[in-house]
Amino acid sequence: MRAVIQKVKSASVTVEGKVVSQIGRGLVVLVGICNEDTFDDVDKLANTVLKLRLFESDDGSKMWQKSVTDLPKGQLLSVSQFTLYGNVKKGSKPDFHRAAKGHIALELYQQFLEKLKNGMKHVEEPENSVQDGVFGAMMDVALINDGPVTINYDTKNPKDRQIEDIQN
């Protein structure tokens, strides 16, 4: 699984002119699922997103001190994005053959959302702490990036896996 993780002040997803989800301070996670991904990858990515320390200390004096789960009102907005597996090695038209087929990707994506929700149960409003877009839909994603802070993570990249292992 691949993810682009962005620290945000706020974000929203609009489908066909209607806002379907929105968050305040937290993380936007663009999620790509490939045909080799398993539930193991779901666990790795969810754990990393929940533990990644991208937020400053309470007094703002130190960066990289808190995760989204440490914020009383922290929120997550997850957006499925098969295009993270786009390949342009053979020309100008992207090839998406590595992206998982819809029904397989949907199952893994739903499991990922459940893991995030379980990890956010202790925040002040857990029922609103994890939002997502509409799987397979054309979406307009709007966000106010905070920092900006943007992290790329791939569960299949050995260097990224070492980072995840250190966090456990």
- State how beta strands 130-132 and 75-80 pair: parallel
Mean pLDDT of 8-16: 98
List pLDDT tens digits, range 126-143: 899 999 999 999 999 999
Arithmetic mean of pLDDT over the chain: 94
One-letter identity of residue 48: T
pLDDT score of 159: 79
Tell me which of 6, 55, 82, 112 is the catalytic residue. Answer: 82
Q: How many residues does the chain have?
A: 168
Residues 31-60 pLDDT 10s: 999 999 999 999 999 999 999 999 999 999
Query: Per-domain residue ranges for the chain?
Result: 1-152
Per-residue pLDDT at 7: 98
Judged against a pLDDT cut of 60, whether residue 168 lies above it is answered with no
Residue 84 · residue 37 · CB < 8 Å: no
Question: Looking at domain 1-152, does it have CATH number 3.50.80.10?
Answer: yes
Q: Which of 8-12, 16-20, 128-132, 160-164 has the lowest mean pLDDT?
A: 160-164
Torsion sign across C-alpha atoms 116, 47, 8, 143: negative
Given the residues 38, 83, 162, 167, the one annotated as active site: 83
Burial class of 98 by CB neighbour count within 10 A (0 to 12, 13 to 18, 19+):
middle
Q: Higher model confidence: residue 68 or residue 91?
A: 68
Instruction: Write down the residue that tokens 């379980």 correspond to.
Output: 118
Q: Which residues of 42-71 are buried (b: 16+ CB within 10 A; e: fewer)?
A: bebbbebbbbbebbbeeeeeeeeebbbbeb
pTM of the model: 0.93
Q: What pLDDT score does 70 carry?
A: 96
Catalytic site residue 150? no
Active site residue 96: no
Tokens matching residue 102: 């819809």
The answer on pLDDT for 160 being more than 90 is no
Above pLDDT 70, what percent of the chain?
Answer: 95
Active site includes 110? no
Max CA-CA distance within the chain?
A: 50
Q: Which of 6, 48, 81, 131 is catalytic?
A: 81
What pLDDT does 38 receive?
A: 97
